[in-house]
Amino acid sequence: MHDERRAWKGFDWGVMDRLHQKGLIANPANKSKSVVLSDEGLRRSEELFRAMFTRPTR
């Protein structure tokens, strides 16, 4: 991630299209090497990151 809500487009195009259809990223079909996460996409990515890569607090 960079610029607070941009992610590199190094993923399968089918995956990128599905994320766009769900409203989680901006249209990936452009010359840019990154995509912009929507508010919902940013929220969901942070939520999933915490669930998968952090330990629960006690």
Mean pLDDT of 35-55: 93
Instruction: Report CA-CA distances (Å) from 1 to 10, 22, 42.
Output: 12, 19, 10
Q: What percent of the chain has pLDDT over 90?
A: 55
Q: What are the backbone angles phi and psi of residue 29, rounded to the nearest 5°?
A: -85, 75
- Residue with the bigger pLDDT between 3 and 45: it is 45
Mean pLDDT of 34-41: 93
Query: What pLDDT is stored for residue 6 in this prediction?
Result: 86
The 3 state secondary structure assigned to 1-58 is CECCCEEECCCCHHHHHHHHHCCCECCCCCCCCEEEECHHHHHHHHHHHHHHHCCCCC
pLDDT at 37 over 80: yes
